[in-house]
Amino acid sequence: MINRDLAREVKSLMPSRERDTDRNSPVSMWNEMDRLRGTPEETTVVILRTRGCSWYDFSSCSMCGYFNDVNTNISVDNLKVQIDRAYDFMERTRILKIFTSGSFLDQREVPEEAFNYFMKKMSDKVEKLLVESRTEYVTDKIMKKVKSYGVDTRIAIGVESSNDYVIKNMVNKGTTFSKFINAAKILKNNKMELRSYLLLKPPYMSEEGGVQDAIQSVKDCAPYSDDISVNPMNIQKNTLVEKLWKKGEYRPPWLWSVVRVLLETQNVKSDVISYPTGGDRERGAHNDDRNQEVVKLIFNASLNQDFRDLEDYYNRADKRKYMAHLKNEECLPIQYDLDSFIRKISAGSVKI
Ligand code: SF4
Q: Provide the pLDDT for residue 291.
A: 86
Distance, CA 161 to ligand 1 centroid (Å)? Answer: 14
Can you give the pLDDT at residue 330?
A: 81
Which residue type is seen at 48?
L
Mean pLDDT (whole number) for 183-204: 98
For atom 6 of ligand 1, which residue has the closest CA?
61
What whole-number distance in Å separates Cα of residue 82 and Cα of residue 84? 5
What is the pLDDT at residue 342? 65
Rounded percentage of the chain residues whose pLDDT exceeds 70: 94
pLDDT digits (tens, 9 = 90+) for 80-108: 999 999 999 999 999 999 999 999 999 99
> What local confidence, expressed as pLDDT, does residue 351 receive?
53
Counting from 1 in the atom list of ligand 1, the atom nearest the Cα of 171 is: 6
Within 233-293, strands assigned E span: 271-273
Q: How many Å lie between the centroid of ligand 1 and the Cα of residue 317?
A: 36
Please tell me the distance from the alpha carbon of residue 236 to that of residue 242, in angstroms, as a whole number.
6
**Site to substitute for ligand 1 among 64, 101, 106, 179, most atoms within 8 A of C-beta:** 64
Measured from CB, residues less than 6 Å from any atom of ligand 1 are: 53, 55, 60-61, 64, 66, 101-102, 134, 158
Backbone angles phi, psi at 304, to 5 degrees: -100, -5
Q: What is the pLDDT of residue 17?
A: 83
**Ligand 1 centre and the CA of 55: distance in Å?**
7
Sheet containing strand 128-132, strands side by side: 28-34, 41-47, 95-99, 128-132, 153-160, 193-200, 227-232, 271-273
Mean residue pLDDT of the chain comes to 95
Answering whether pTM is above 0.75, one says yes
- Choose one of 55, 108, 160 to mutate for the ligand 1 pocket test, by most ligand atoms within 8 angstroms of C-beta: 55
Q: Which atom of ligand 1 is nearest the CA belonging to 56?
A: 5
Does residue 325 surpass a pLDDT of 70?
yes
CA–centroid distance, residue 227 to ligand 1 (Å): 20
What backbone phi and psi angles, to 5 degrees, belong to 111?
Answer: -60, 155
Ligand 1 mean position, distance from CA 60 (Å): 6
Ligand 1, from 17, 47, 53: best to mutate by most atoms within 8 Å of Cβ? 53
**What's the gap in Å between 310 CA and the centre of ligand 1?**
31
Is the confidence at residue 337, as pLDDT, over 90? no
Residue 59 alpha carbon, nearest atom of ligand 1 = 5
- pLDDT number for residue 344: 65
pLDDT at position 2 is: 94
- Please report the pLDDT score of residue 345 as a whole number: 64
**103 CA distance to ligand 1 centroid (A)?**
8
Spacing, Cα 53 to ligand 1 middle (Å): 6
**Nearest residue (CA) to ligand 1, atom 7:** 64
Among the atoms of ligand 1, which is closest to the Cα of residue 134?
1
Residues 43-77 pLDDT 10s: 999 999 999 999 999 999 999 999 999 999 999 99
- Nearest-atom number in ligand 1 for the CA of 66 is 8
Q: Is 199 helix (H, G, I), strand (E, B) or coil?
A: strand
Give the distance from CA 313 to its chain's centroid.
26
At 283-302, the pLDDT tens digits run 999 999 988 999 999 999 99
What spacing in Å lies between the alpha carbon of 182 and ligand 1's midpoint?
A: 19
350 pLDDT more than 60: no
User: Per-residue pLDDT averaged across 232-261, rounded?
Assistant: 97
How many angstroms is it from 76 CA to the middle of ligand 1? 22
Domain 4-347 of CATH type 3.20.20.70: yes
From atom 8 of ligand 1, which residue's Cα is the shortest distance away? 64
- What lies within 8 Å, CB to CB, of 136 at 6+ separation is 175, 179
